[in-house]
């Protein structure tokens, strides 16, 4: 098993050259999951039998000389809030611990149609609410690079699985940094795309106006390949962009590109700040024009994000009432008691906190004081970013204030934990793309991730910048 940045390309080439077959590759990965995942906790469900059967089908396809895609036979896994027909989709919650999805998410279906092989479903913070994958009903996910540390969240299982090479690539979901922050903590590459670039059909809703499914991979090129497969219009999701198209060749010049640099000094650790500055210097050496910029008010973005996401969550999670699907409390004597007890027993503490917060922001008094104000702030922040992107083509910034912290060092007050999301939420609030990739190591050897943000639909540029940084720094290796 290799650790090179372009894992998919190398495996695909080996499959094409018949140096290995998809069945062998899948068995290798299943063995690796068996060996490693007991100490990491990335997987909730492993679909071994189906994966082996799919691999045999794809081997037969290759043997017949049929043309196959670059993802044919490549094993992947998805966050457990993304539906796959006939497979458990738990959202990391007791509420859905036995829920079997009756349909497949469009993003997953597109990978299956490209003959990629699903290995299983990955751990996450309950209903994607958290930033350390420690609110899951199925236990914590540990960082493969140091198992005393968190993998980040909420897509911690997705990032850890790639970092430990238990899947060639994975899908996560990003509502306020949930793909990018765990990608940074585990030394992998994660994309939160332009809102509407990837279908949300089959993604269990948390905050519908903010979230996107995004790929996590070992390298930038791999990430672009997966994104190119899952993106595009979907008639099953009215919020997907009709005219979105994506192509990335990886040979674009950065000469003359204007890069805004915001190192977050004062709000982030010296290691993180240094990594952002280093990225700016590297891009300068490629002929880009890098200069300091200020991001819109991150405190306001954070407040707007938590108000909007909690409000949408309180509405979206209203469907879990113990009647049609999900956990049902035993021996309730009336319908109201059934609703209340099912929800009380089925949801964990963080989910209850967000629901309460959402109800608070949406009730008669809170609606004017909080929700409407948050929507206004969202528009203002988007306008400020539009103005910023008139003066630069992309912005490099921190994604989190520190590198992966020890499991024992988690902050105790929820608001202090929320504050760590300040840099991540901006892209979700504005609906713009953001690519996160490793940019060096801290003093303790943990990877430091930086994010590259651009205006809407600028994914090809972000990948070009990311590829240049990866080639200069060496990425995961």
Given the rule CB under 8 A, which residues bind another protein? 99-100, 102, 235-239, 297, 299-300, 302-304, 306-307, 314, 318, 321-328, 332-335, 337-341, 343-344, 347, 352-353, 355-357, 359-360, 363, 365-366, 368-377, 379-380, 413-415, 418-419
Peptide bond into 154 cis (omega under 30): yes
- Looking at beta carbons only, is 67 or 365 nearer to another protein? 365
Give burial (CB, 10 Å; 0-12/13-18/19+) of 27.
Answer: middle
> Residues near 397 by Cβ (< 8 Å), separated by ≥ 6?
261, 262, 263, 264, 276, 295, 423, 450, 451, 453
- Looking at beta carbons only, is 340 or 407 nearer to another protein? 340
Minimum distance between the CB of residue 104 and another protein, rounded to whole angstroms? 13
Q: What is the Cα–Cα distance from 86 to 77, expressed in whole angstroms?
A: 15
Q: What is the Cα–Cα distance from 389 to 4, expressed in whole angstroms?
A: 33
- Looking at beta carbons only, is 327 or 389 nearer to another protein? 327
Catalytic option among 93, 136, 173, 178: 178
- Looking at beta carbons only, is 56 or 237 nearer to another protein? 237
Helix spans in 114-266 (H): 156-163, 180-186, 220-230
The pair of three-digit structure tokens given for residue 349, joined into one six-digit string: 């503490």
- Looking at beta carbons only, is 22 or 302 nearer to another protein? 302
Is-catalytic flag, 192? no
Helix spans in 64-165 (H): 106-113, 156-163
Distances (CA, A) of 147 to 32, 150, 446, 475: 16, 7, 12, 21
How many Cα atoms occupy the beta-carbon half-sphere of 168 within 13 Å?
A: 28
Is-catalytic flag, 79? yes
- Helix, strand, or coil (residue 194): coil
Minimum distance between the CB of residue 346 and another protein, rounded to whole angstroms? 10
Minimum distance between the CB of residue 225 and another protein, rounded to whole angstroms? 28
Any idea of the CA torsion for 10, 11, 13, 16, to the nearest 10 degrees?
180
Catalytic option among 101, 131, 154, 314: 154
Is-catalytic flag, 154? yes
The pair of three-digit structure tokens given for residue 157, joined into one six-digit string: 């299982």
- Looking at beta carbons only, is 98 or 281 nearer to another protein? 98
Q: How many residues does the chain have?
A: 477
Q: Which residues pair with 449 in a beta bridge?
A: 438
Catalytic option among 12, 79, 93, 464: 79
Minimum distance between the CB of residue 322 and another protein, rounded to whole angstroms? 6
Q: What is the Cα–Cα distance from 421 to 407, expressed in whole angstroms?
A: 18
Minimum distance between the CB of residue 138 and another protein, rounded to whole angstroms? 20
Minimum distance between the CB of residue 92 and another protein, rounded to whole angstroms? 18
Q: Which residues are catalytic?
A: 79, 154, 178
């Amino acid at each position: 098993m290799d650790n090179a940045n372009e894992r998919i390309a190398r495996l695909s080439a080996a499959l094409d050259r018949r140096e290995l077959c998809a069945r062998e590759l899948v068995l290798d990965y299943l063995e690796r999951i068996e060996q490693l995942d007991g100490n990491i906790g990335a997987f909730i469900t492993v679909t071994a039998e189906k994966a082996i059967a799919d691999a045999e089908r794809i081997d037969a396809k290759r043997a017949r000389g049929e043309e196959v895609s670059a993802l044919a036979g490549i094993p992947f896994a998805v966050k457990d809030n993304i539906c796959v027909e006939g497979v458990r989709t738990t959202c990391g919650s007791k509420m859905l611990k036995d829920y079997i999805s009756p349909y497949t998410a469009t993003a997953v279906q597109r990978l299956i149609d490209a003959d990629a092989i699903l290995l299983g479903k990955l751990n996450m913070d309950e209903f994607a609410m958290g930033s350390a994958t420690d609110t899951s009903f199925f236990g914590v996910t540990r960082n493969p690079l140091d198992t005393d540390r968190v993998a980040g969240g909420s897509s911690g299982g997705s990032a850890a699985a790639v970092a430990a090479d238990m899947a060639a690539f994975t899908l996560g979901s990003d509502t306020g940094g949930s793909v990018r922050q765990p990608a940074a903590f585990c030394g992998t590459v994660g994309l939160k795309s332009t809102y509407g670039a990837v279908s949300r059909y089959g993604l269990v809703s948390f905050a519908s106006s903010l979230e996107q499914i995004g790929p996590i991979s070992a390298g930038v090129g791999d990430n672009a390949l997966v994104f190119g497969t899952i993106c595009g219009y979907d008639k099953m999701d009215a919020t997907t962009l009709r005219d979105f198209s994506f192509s990335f060749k990886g040979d674009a010049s950065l000469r003359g590109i204007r890069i805004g640099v915001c190192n977050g000094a004062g709000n982030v650790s010296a290691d993180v700040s240094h990594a952002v500055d280093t990225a700016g210097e590297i891009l300068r050496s490629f002929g880009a024009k890098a200069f300091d910029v200020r991001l819109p008010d991150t405190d306001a973005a954070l407040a707007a994000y938590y108000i909007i996401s909690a409000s949408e969550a309180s509405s979206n999670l209203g469907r879990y009432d113990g009647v049609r699907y999900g956990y049902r409390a035993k021996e309730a004597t009336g319908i109201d008691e059934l609703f209340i007890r099912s929800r009380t027993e089925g949801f964990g503490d963080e989910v209850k906190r967000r629901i309460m917060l959402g109800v608070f922001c949406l009730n008669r008094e809170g609606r004017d004081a909080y929700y409407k104000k948050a929507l206004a702030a969202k528009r203002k922040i988007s306008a400020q970013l539009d103005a910023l992107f008139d003066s630069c083509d992309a912005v490099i910034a921190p994604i989190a204030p520190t590198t992966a912290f020890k499991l024992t060092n988690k902050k105790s007050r929820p608001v202090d934990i929320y504050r760590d999301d300040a840099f991540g939420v901006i892209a979700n609030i504005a609906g713009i793309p953001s690519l996160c990739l490793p940019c060096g190591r801290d003093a303790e050897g943990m990877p430091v991730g930086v994010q590259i943000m651009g205006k809407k639909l600028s994914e090809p540029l972000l990948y070009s910048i990311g590829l240049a940084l990866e080639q200069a720094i060496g990425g995961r290796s």
